[in-house]
Structure 1
Amino acid sequence: MTARTDTPADLRAPYDRRRASRILSGLARPGLFTTRPRQPRDRAFVYTSTPLRPDPGTHLTYSQRLYLERFMRPCRAAEVTSATHRMTWTDSAGIPNTGFYRDDGLGPQVPIAVRETVLALWQELGPGTELDDRISALDPAARGVLAGTTTDHEPIDIFRVGIESAGRALAQHALLSAHTPYRTAAEFACGMRDSNIFAAVATRWFWELQASTYRRGMIPVRLAVRPDGTIHYPEQTLTTLRAMKDATIGDAHRVMRRATAEEGMSTGEAIAHYHDDLDLISRQYALLSPGERPSCLAAAAHRVDGENYSVLPVVVGRFVDVFTHLIAECEATTAPAGPEAADDIPVHAEDRVFYVPDMTCKHCVRTIGGVLESMGIEVADIDLDSKRVVAEFRSPRNRARAFEALRDGGYNPVGESPETTRTDPRG
């Protein structure tokens, strides 16, 4: 989720997915990544692991089941695979992370190595590169197209989000590794690349589905093996993904039709008034012309300097290359279990304060407050700028349960300010 609001300038900017995709391709060629000496980082990680507890009679947790029922129609529970464990760790940039794995899969090293790969590639997009020079020379009209078409306006942020989404795809599909012929994480990453699974995610999924299911440790697809050993989505998976995407587009269009045709709002007024209904991603679907299918900006091919060029294979190729090196360097050990929290121990004043590094907008504020209040926890203050939350916990066990509930919603609460440990992941 990206913290931004729609300004009048945004709403006047042209919405043109094809042109936005061409602009990004022009920026990425002839080289998106600049190989440079990587920052020396400690690759030894200590993580904590918590088993996911499914609801009775299902293999899904309450959070997974609720999201499935509310936002993934017509996907069925039988089509969803859940992680068995949630893990938390601090990456080499000092940033708290949450990931998921299955105990019959490739293990906790995959989410860790995925995150380290993201950090490494963000560094390769850093200042002083040829990409940085091309972005600086971008004309105002092109910037206007990106502002009017994309959720993240700045080109560097668009590329960074694309890298992160490639990592999500790899870590999320690793939940299905037991159903593939690949037996190591490096083999699995190369198999996903060679089987064009990254492209399938970019073109078949819709953005919010990937982000939201990833945060909940679930994946709504199956994998089948071809005779040549590559993998693919079976027909039922493709049918379900298309139906979910169509339902999301339909929801966005219904909101816009009601606002503009029945309530007499302009497009800008409708997007501003129904911001929560449309959210940040559905806003883009709401602006699609009738009958137009949304296309992934990175997946579209363009003629650049007389050759066909697409950003997606460049990102995927580099991501897999770096991941296969870093997975061998990352050492993951489990943190020793701490003492069981008790219900009859008072909460210290400092334990009423915690931070949520990935709280980025007012929607997040309302969600976090709603989760706590639904558990009978009084919320004294939530400050979006500092990511600081003050809540009246009844006991350490009550606090631990609240943190678990927030993690079920995709947030990563930490007991100390992220500013005390966070370093700039851009290098």
Structure 2
Amino acid sequence: MTSNGHPPRYDRRAASRVLAGVARPGLGLTPAAPPARRMEYTCTPVRFEPGSHLTLSQRLYLERFMRPCRAEQVTSATHRIAWTDSDGVPNTGHFHAGGLGPIVPIAMREAVLGLWHSIEADAALARRIAGLSERERAVLEGTTTDHEPAEIFRVGIEACGRALAQHALLARWTPYRTPAEFAAGMRDSGIYSAVATRWFWELQASSYRRGMIAVTLATQPDGTVRYSAETVATLRAMKDMTIEDAHRTMRRATHVEGLTVEEAIARYHEELDLISRQYALLPPGTRPACLAAMPHQLDGAHYSLLPVVVDKFTELFTAVVGRLSIAEVPADTGSDSIELAAADQLFFVPDMTCKHCVRTITGVLESMDIAVHEIDLISKRVTAEFRSPRNRHRAFEALRDSGYNPTVELPTPATTETAV
């Protein structure tokens, strides 16, 4: 039962309509013009395995979760960067040396923050969310990962930013030569819609964290870009395999072992995490559709949430990148050799972006018998009970193998606003 007494109800179209109804009068995506800003970052080359264009983490993820994708279909970043955003939160990102450079992930993050803050400041949106019925909340709880509309919108904006920065690894194979041109080209080419319909959530999030993308872009006569036919086929095959794996686990649990759906989800938590659970509950033969991409008729007019978010994100990203200057600074290479006191339990995970990340990080630590006391998604801060410096080091290595990049200290914000 939900907190309001209604049982959760899995219904993707109904959940999409609830979100569209809340957003349709206005989603608060009207951030103020960004200030001129200077930001500093550190940069390290990505370390590939000998004789390969992939890192160990990338190869392991490819082999385990991206069947039937082949290594030659994957493009990797060449560099990883770290910086502190204007909210004082540490971040990591990737770029390709032959592309548009580190300004794309940094400006992307600032655009995401601007849209987040505009949603938080929208009192009318908050009132509409508060006025949702118990039945509508039950649909969101039964269908979505994050349940609360504001949180769902926040994660959706983050996913939009991820798509831009991840596809920028391929910018050198497109006609777009500046970050602003690339952002407009992504929008005009319908790439965000392709991500929403072709990809599945964990593939995008996990491959983004690892600085890799399994996509080839083909330039069209009108100057836009599209996924190649091979890319579409491979993404579909990966998605179908994920759905079938989820259905197979659910069939075994419910038909062979006689469990209820709730019991199956509880017993096979690792196989049916929050992402695969949504696929396992789909009727056979049904393809999952992104909630933001579903069209609706509201107040007699056609409405789809995804284009609204994409347009606002592109507009703000273009404004940010035009007023942002960045500078590389030396990395603090001495920190890796410092032994931390066992009582020092605080660290940060810059690439923790959603509640699925929270559950994954918690699962990794708890599997090592490390108690997790607090995880704050907004500040990306984690407090856990490490037994020793060596235990902490091993936990960090396990998190890196899972696609995350923990850091010990919150860097001093390296950002200044400059006068116009």
Q: Is the 8 A contact 1:96 1:412 kept in 2?
A: no
1:23 equivalent in alignment to 2:18: yes
Q: CA deviation at 1:339?
A: 5.0
Could you say what secondary structure the match of 2:154 adopts?
helix
Q: Which residue of 2 aligns with 1:94?
A: 88
Q: CA deviation at 1:383?
A: 2.4
Q: Is the 8 A contact 1:207 1:281 kept in 2?
A: yes
For 2:25, give the aligned amino acid: P
Could you say what secondary structure the match of 2:273 adopts?
helix
Match of 1:385 among 374, 386, 393: 374
1:322 equivalent in alignment to 2:316: yes
Q: Which residue of 1 aligns with 2:75?
A: 81
Q: Which residue of 2 aligns with 1:258?
A: 252
Q: Is the 8 A contact 1:42 1:92 kept in 2?
A: no
Q: CA deviation at 1:393?
A: 4.2
1:278 equivalent in alignment to 2:267: no
1:330-378: CA deviations, max 9, x gaps?
A: 22111224455787xx7253796541343964542342577xx8xxxxx
Q: Is the 8 A contact 1:271 1:283 kept in 2?
A: yes
Q: Which residue of 1 aligns with 2:378?
A: none
Q: CA deviation at 1:44?
A: 2.0
Q: CA deviation at 1:37?
A: 3.6
Q: CA deviation at 1:405?
A: 6.7
Q: CA deviation at 1:417?
A: 6.5
Query: Is the alpha carbon distance of 1:139 and 1:57 closer, same or farther for their aligned partners in structure 2, counting shifts above 3 Å?
Result: same
Q: Is the 8 A contact 1:8 1:268 kept in 2?
A: no
1:267-309: CA deviations, max 9, x gaps?
A: 1111111111111111100100111110111111111111111
- Counting only pairs closer than 5 Å after superposition, residues 105-120 of structure 1 correspond to structure 2 as 105-120=99-114
Match of 1:12 among 7, 15, 18: 7
- Counting only pairs closer than 5 Å after superposition, residues 18-417 of structure 1 correspond to structure 2 as 18-37=13-32, 43-338=37-332, 347-349=339-341, 353-357=345-349, 358=352, 361=358, 363-368=360-365, 381-385=370-374, 387-389=382-384, 390=386, 392-393=388-389, 406-407=399-400, 409-416=402-409
Query: Is the alpha carbon distance of 1:57 and 1:333 closer, same or farther for their aligned partners in structure 2, counting shifts above 3 Å?
Result: same
* Alpha-carbon distance in 2 for matches of 1:324, 1:84: 24
Quick one: percent identity of the two aligned structures?
56
Query: Is the alpha carbon distance of 1:348 and 1:201 closer, same or farther for their aligned partners in structure 2, counting shifts above 3 Å?
Result: closer
Query: Is the alpha carbon distance of 1:180 and 1:404 closer, same or farther for their aligned partners in structure 2, counting shifts above 3 Å?
Result: farther
Query: Is the alpha carbon distance of 1:394 and 1:289 closer, same or farther for their aligned partners in structure 2, counting shifts above 3 Å?
Result: closer
What is the aligned residue count?
Answer: 401
Computed over aligned residues only, the root mean square deviation of the Cα atoms, in angstroms, reads 2.8
Q: Is the 8 A contact 1:152 1:158 kept in 2?
A: yes
Q: Which residue of 1 aligns with 2:416?
A: none
For 2:302, give the aligned amino acid: N
1:166-199: CA deviations, max 9, x gaps?
A: 0000000000000000000000000000000000
Query: Is the alpha carbon distance of 1:408 and 1:184 closer, same or farther for their aligned partners in structure 2, counting shifts above 3 Å?
Result: farther
1:67-90: CA deviations, max 9, x gaps?
A: 000000000001100000111111
Structure 1 residue runs of 4+, over 4 Å off?
6-11, 339-343, 350-354, 359-362, 401-405
Q: Is the 8 A contact 1:365 1:384 kept in 2?
A: no
* Alpha-carbon distance in 1 for matches of 2:208, 2:148: 24
Q: Which moved more, 1:349-358 or 1:214-223?
A: 349-358
Q: Is the 8 A contact 1:353 1:391 kept in 2?
A: no
Q: Is the 8 A contact 1:224 1:232 kept in 2?
A: yes
Could you say what secondary structure the match of 2:272 adopts?
helix
Could you say what secondary structure the match of 1:163 adopts?
helix
Could you say what secondary structure the match of 1:12 adopts?
coil
Could you say what secondary structure the match of 1:285 adopts?
helix
Q: CA deviation at 1:21?
A: 1.0
* Alpha-carbon distance in 2 for matches of 1:16, 1:151: 13
Query: Is the alpha carbon distance of 1:140 and 1:10 closer, same or farther for their aligned partners in structure 2, counting shifts above 3 Å?
Result: closer
Could you say what secondary structure the match of 2:311 adopts?
helix
Q: Is the 8 A contact 2:31 2:115 kept in 1?
A: no
TM-score by length of 2: 0.88
For 2:374, give the aligned amino acid: D
Q: Which moved more, 1:255-264 or 1:43-52?
A: 43-52
Q: Which residue of 2 aligns with 1:425?
A: none
For 2:89, give the aligned amino acid: I
Q: Which moved more, 1:256-265 or 1:22-31?
A: 22-31
Query: Is the alpha carbon distance of 1:284 and 1:337 closer, same or farther for their aligned partners in structure 2, counting shifts above 3 Å?
Result: closer
Q: CA deviation at 1:66?
A: 0.2
* Alpha-carbon distance in 1 for matches of 2:336, 2:208: 31
TM-score by length of 1: 0.86
* Alpha-carbon distance in 1 for matches of 2:184, 2:238: 28
Unmatched tracts of structure 2, length 5 or more: 376-381, 414-420
* Alpha-carbon distance in 2 for matches of 1:10, 1:111: 42
For 1:232, give the aligned amino acid: R
* Alpha-carbon distance in 1 for matches of 2:72, 2:91: 29
Higher relative contact order, chain-length normalized (CA < 8 Å, sep 6+): 2
